[in-house]
Amino acid sequence: VAIILDYSDGMRRARQLAAKPATANDLTLFQLARRTLLLAWNRRVRIRHVRLVCDRLTFPPAQLALFAAEQKENKKRDNRILAIDRIRRRFGHDAIQVGRTMAA
């Protein structure tokens, strides 16, 4: 995940972090993008443009987890993402949103 910030004074700042293990999970990518933004955003100048790059996404491996608790938590998270994707396919992308992304 990479964040590129262009400031109004012409300066550019880029930071990137990698998910370990690599993933395509929306919630994990959101948390990683937020951490990356906090690393890049350290000036008190207006931001003119924000670019988010999520590349080399990989779906979960077929290998099972070693620990039952970890496997159960991952399964719940994956089921939640699948349910959100099904709702968006059926009713449109704006049918369901994460609370943090809604305008105040």
The candidate with the shortest Cα–Cα distance to 41, out of 61, 63, 15, is 15
What is the predicted pLDDT for the residue at 65? 59
pTM assigned to the model:
0.64
48, 6 contact by CB (below 8 A): yes
15, 39 contact by CB (below 8 A): yes
The per-residue pLDDT for range 53-64, each reduced to its tens digit, is 988 888 766 555
The candidate with the shortest Cα–Cα distance to 2, out of 34, 31, 28, 36, is 36
